[in-house]
Amino acid sequence: MKKKIKYTNGPMGKVRVIKDFLPSPEELAFKEETVKVTISLSKASIEFFKKEAKQHKTQYQKMIRRLLDEYIAHQT
């Protein structure tokens, strides 16, 4: 930013108020109820999810859970 911004207390012109469209903190912190299960998956599957999770900076279990949720959503 080479050009300096000059702030003044002068008139701003026509102002329009925009409706608040952001979700509330409660909506952002929503945590779906989960149930712990024990499941045996192939080594290749786990390696795949761990690799992808690392690239996307998330947990591989969340990716697997999301995949299952998407599958269920398309079956109903």
Look at residue 65 and tell me if it is in a domain: yes
Look at residue 55 and tell me if it is in a domain: yes
As for how many domains the chain has, the answer is: 1
Look at residue 17 and tell me if it is in a domain: no
Task: Find the DSSP H helices in the chain.
Answer: 25-28, 43-55, 60-75
Look at residue 75 and tell me if it is in a domain: yes
- What token pair was written down for 67? 């995949």
Range of the domain at 60: 42-76
Mind listing the pLDDT tens digit for each residue in 18-72?
888 877 777 777 678 889 999 999 999 999 999 999 999 999 998 999 899 889 9
What does the pLDDT read at residue 1? 58
Identify whether the C-beta of residue 52 lies closer than 8 Å to the C-beta of residue 60: yes
Note the residue count of the chain: 76
What does the pLDDT read at residue 55? 94
